[in-house]
Structure 1
């Protein structure tokens, strides 16, 4: 076969792939009947979506700042006798019940329809938009947690109507909201190596008091027959999404343990409450995997895997956290993780480090405040002792707060200069805290100072919130996945020093040896218990003094090793680092200087959009015919397979001619 023919035959293979299903970077089931797929591109600062919904009626999809309909940014689409109707809409940000208010059509149509069709089971819509459309009716898509709204209805509007009242109201079971990362989402891909599967799980979990959360600890033996070093390359929850939504399960953390006789006995048991009084602590402090509700699991990047070796660790601690049902009667189902590991070692050993506030009562969040800031420090002396000379590379971060956390930033200071934050989220959701993938791994050098800074909204609480492990308490942590692994530092935390806490409450001196703890000075507080002071403090008028004291006062570094000991010479009181140059985000320029597709005067005068050589008539409908209703096509589409490739969209007739020509050429030259 001639070189030309060989090239043309290779082209045949490429073209055959291009007319099959699109390759998407990410996907998620918003409900069992509603799947969304998305990828960045194809243009700069653009994102492309595809909705695959089990309905013959209309479909709604969009974004909200807080998960509610008021102020939502929506698209509505449906297929009616081969005509695809597609509309950029919004809901007014006004008082009253927005859940039953119909989205109205935007004057500016900023979502561009690429493809639409239906078959006997599904409606499929593909479209793209700018990350920031610069339309005040649209919500920018950022690295923050996005609140996704979805809805579908079995019926479609008659004749493509756009007037108010044209959309039938959907049932509550056919609509919902879900938090998602859209831009910094870790790739959910099957491992490429030959892998083995290990399921680390607990048995049934005893309930606590009615309405109380439960932390359950189960020591498990590592994979059977593990010989030599392996790499963990992926993990995911054992329970299905349907079971997870009803189990009350909130968090799963898997720790690597140091071998001890105690662990063998615990592994033979059925588990226990993690914080039983008078029980001996379990010596497992190195985080191996962390999952939280809303996460679909995590895949390590191709260059790194978490090392597993029976010689260094035979036992693991599985810690599960449940929000218990209110009846407190029956046991809760066991849970765990499915872990994929391989003996095909990757280039780097990965590890996890925890950075932030140590869970403790000294972490105080006053009630009734719109904004309370807490900071947990990983001081430079800890990183100087622990990190290798070339530093570590952080490639993913999960940021954790409980119910009232709203913002988290992992700040990075080097020699007094604040570098860009390693990760930040200004729209946190306590029910969705999974690893976010860092676009390019961030190098942290020995001597760098890290700060996990958390912002809370306690305006709905009438009593103080203290730091701790339960959902009624609060936390401020960032777990960083990094490589290469170092074995010196497992958790790099801090706590406000006791003098800082006392000063923030207007206390000068405590009465030593008193039980309960009582105040000695100033005179006006003498004899009052510390607990009474916490409860009776005038937070409304003295909050700013408290916040200033906690942010500028001293703190105690807690640099924990895997053996639950502190690094030497690191536990002396420290202060906020002297930052000579703060980080200021670079200006992005005029992101809004691009062509806009306006539908002023709707529905007359709708423009004609040209998309990669294919004409789509107007912003509201497209002459894209419905798919074949043959059994084969129906099966393909109901499995979520598209007929076109969004990244290499071509005219179907041209592709068919090209395929036929190359096939005939290869045939006659065989």
Structure 2
């Protein structure tokens, strides 16, 4: 939830507030901040310990973009003094100044495998734009830490830490995404100025080892132009698949345990869900955020219990976008004006076989979603060969003239049911052996989970109460639409296709991007200059600043009253999840009992 607050440098006069005694609100400082009002993670301050060490990894004099520009900056670090295994237990941002905080959008620290002359040279330099780095020679595809705007840092649970040891990994690449933050409450009065930045990350690590080594698995849609979001639509669904063929090869026999997630979209993202498929059955979602804020997407712990993911399970990052304020298509990419659908999962025990598990719509799926059967080979500009009614038309013209209003349902069906290319990459930034030529399709789900409301007394022994007491506090909204029929990393990687396929992609991408108007700040506020007034949805109910502040005040009063009421009664209502998991194998049966007994492995509570 976005909370609007206001304060004044002058104290009110007297002990009693009377009309006219408060300072003029027009002269007060007004701002907004996104908060998880119902999530209370116990971030206990670290106790003084001689075995606890700190390390700051900072950028050096990075020239920041002005206005609404964006920059991905990569800097290599060489760590020689961690002579034996330690555990990273916390990290937090370090800002060069209060002004630089508005520029840093996210920071991701990658662990590089092995040593090479190229890594050594990069570690002696101040850094460079990431697109200038030869990513084919970088073996840095294992995420250590990820921070996004709005977060104050992350502390690992007491039983888990990320392993650090110079003998195992000596080079670390920090990727910093700079993007000027222009608030709708300060624009257009905010005038950014030229400046340099030395921000970075502060690591807290200890020689007191914890029981489990943590790892990070990235799941979702690979940031690429093939990820197309039509304009003028309030509900666009995109899905990124981590297929079972990849988890089967990589995960240990007993599976992995996910204990935290970072769910990421950009400006028009509205919801994001991490789905879990086992065989033909969909289990309860691992996490579901129904009100995502692209300026506040930090790691969120699954507070009740970790979720077990077994070898062969499929994970799906499902994102919902609202493009109703945009008049042109939005493409996938790394900038905040483009879109993304990624979920970083923190888990244990760590494995290095699979660190990136993305998918990318196949070229036939992209073409068919636009009502095109075939392109003219080698044409430049790209022209359509069939169907006959489109023969000879350029791809640019098709993108401009496409009737999204009448064809959106068929577009959505093709993109969700069409073929895609699984991208399963290891820590060494290479495809997993045996996955290079995989072709993926949407799963054929024959059994889904069910959600129903139930009330029970705290302390009772009925099964429903056990489910409620142990659920993960992350999502409480109804999942009534789950399983309904369809309506119709960091560093970007190559999809591993042939040279001819890559050349064809480049030509088609150029045609697609040539007529795509990237969104401006006004578009992100629903005031697109490129769109007619009909695209602007009227505000409902609350409009002015006073009304907004009053509404927030009423909500906080209600929230406090609700907590008092629930504290004084033993009766509780909640969302109950029932799922039946196949028990064909011993490990699967054990996992099934665990999930059915707690329901906290997969239900989480919405915190906005």
Provide the TM-score with structure 1 as the length reference.
0.63
User: How far did residue 407 of structure 1 move?
Assistant: 0.4
**Residue-by-residue CA offset, 1:407-430 (whole Å, 9 max, x unaligned):** 000011112222121111111111
The residue aligned with 1:178 is 33
SS of 1:564's equivalent? coil
After superposition, the Cα gap between the structure-2 partners of 1:533 and 1:558, relative to the gap in structure 1 and judged at 3 Å, is: same
User: How far did residue 588 of structure 1 move?
Assistant: 3.9
Matched, 1:407 2:262: no
The residue aligned with 1:316 is 172
Matched, 1:522 2:377: no
Matched, 1:215 2:72: yes
1:129-140 maps to which residues of 2 (within 5 A)? none
Root mean square deviation of aligned Cα: 2.9
After superposition, the Cα gap between the structure-2 partners of 1:295 and 1:372, relative to the gap in structure 1 and judged at 3 Å, is: same
The residue aligned with 1:363 is 227
The residue aligned with 1:373 is 237
The 2-side partners of 1:273 and 1:240 are apart by 19
SS of 1:383's equivalent? helix
The 1-side partners of 2:206 and 2:16 are apart by 57
The 2-side partners of 1:277 and 1:513 are apart by 30
1:348-497 maps to which residues of 2 (within 5 A)? 348-439=212-303, 440-497=305-362
Of residues 497, 504, 518 in structure 1, which corresponds to 2:369?
A: 504
1:534-573 maps to which residues of 2 (within 5 A)? 534-570=399-435, 571-573=437-439
8 Å Cα contact 2:250-2:311 kept in structure 1: yes
After superposition, the Cα gap between the structure-2 partners of 1:413 and 1:280, relative to the gap in structure 1 and judged at 3 Å, is: closer
8 Å Cα contact 1:157-1:167 kept in structure 2: no
The 2-side partners of 1:527 and 1:208 are apart by 42
User: How far did residue 589 of structure 1 move?
Assistant: 3.5
After superposition, the Cα gap between the structure-2 partners of 1:418 and 1:317, relative to the gap in structure 1 and judged at 3 Å, is: same
Higher strand fraction (1 or 2):
1
User: How far did residue 159 of structure 1 move?
Assistant: 5.5
After superposition, the Cα gap between the structure-2 partners of 1:347 and 1:401, relative to the gap in structure 1 and judged at 3 Å, is: same
User: How far did residue 177 of structure 1 move?
Assistant: 2.0
The 2-side partners of 1:208 and 1:176 are apart by 24
Query: How many residues of Structure 1 are paired with residues of Structure 2 in the alignment?
Result: 448
The 2-side partners of 1:313 and 1:382 are apart by 24
Higher helix fraction (1 or 2):
2
After superposition, the Cα gap between the structure-2 partners of 1:524 and 1:327, relative to the gap in structure 1 and judged at 3 Å, is: farther
Q: Provide structure 2 residue ranges, at least 5 long, that are not aligned to the other structure.
A: 182-189, 458-563, 569-608
The 1-side partners of 2:455 and 2:191 are apart by 56
8 Å Cα contact 2:270-2:322 kept in structure 1: yes
The 2-side partners of 1:420 and 1:376 are apart by 17
**Residue-by-residue CA offset, 1:533-557 (whole Å, 9 max, x unaligned):** 2233211221111111111212211
After superposition, the Cα gap between the structure-2 partners of 1:330 and 1:242, relative to the gap in structure 1 and judged at 3 Å, is: closer
8 Å Cα contact 1:187-1:298 kept in structure 2: no
Matched, 1:287 2:152: no
Q: Which has the larger radius of gyration?
A: 1
The 2-side partners of 1:472 and 1:610 are apart by 44
1:150-299 maps to which residues of 2 (within 5 A)? 150-152=5-7, 154-155=11-12, 170-171=25-26, 173-184=28-39, 186-192=41-47, 194-207=51-64, 211-222=68-79, 224-239=80-95, 242-246=98-102, 248-258=103-113, 259-276=115-132, 282-299=138-155
After superposition, the Cα gap between the structure-2 partners of 1:565 and 1:245, relative to the gap in structure 1 and judged at 3 Å, is: closer
8 Å Cα contact 1:502-1:508 kept in structure 2: yes
After superposition, the Cα gap between the structure-2 partners of 1:336 and 1:513, relative to the gap in structure 1 and judged at 3 Å, is: same
After superposition, the Cα gap between the structure-2 partners of 1:416 and 1:309, relative to the gap in structure 1 and judged at 3 Å, is: same
8 Å Cα contact 2:95-2:198 kept in structure 1: no
Of residues 323, 336, 339 in structure 1, which corresponds to 2:203?
A: 339
User: How far did residue 180 of structure 1 move?
Assistant: 1.5
The 1-side partners of 2:566 and 2:244 are apart by 53
SS of 1:501's equivalent? helix
The 2-side partners of 1:238 and 1:398 are apart by 20
The 2-side partners of 1:229 and 1:568 are apart by 29
The residue aligned with 1:95 is none
User: How far did residue 185 of structure 1 move?
Assistant: 5.1
The 2-side partners of 1:165 and 1:426 are apart by 41
After superposition, the Cα gap between the structure-2 partners of 1:392 and 1:169, relative to the gap in structure 1 and judged at 3 Å, is: farther
The 2-side partners of 1:442 and 1:504 are apart by 35
The 1-side partners of 2:244 and 2:345 are apart by 17
User: How far did residue 264 of structure 1 move?
Assistant: 0.7
After superposition, the Cα gap between the structure-2 partners of 1:422 and 1:240, relative to the gap in structure 1 and judged at 3 Å, is: farther
8 Å Cα contact 2:138-2:429 kept in structure 1: no
User: How far did residue 278 of structure 1 move?
Assistant: 7.4
User: How far did residue 251 of structure 1 move?
Assistant: 0.5
The 2-side partners of 1:610 and 1:204 are apart by 53
Of residues 450, 456, 467 in structure 2, which corresponds to 1:584?
A: 450
SS of 1:242's equivalent? coil
SS of 1:458's equivalent? coil
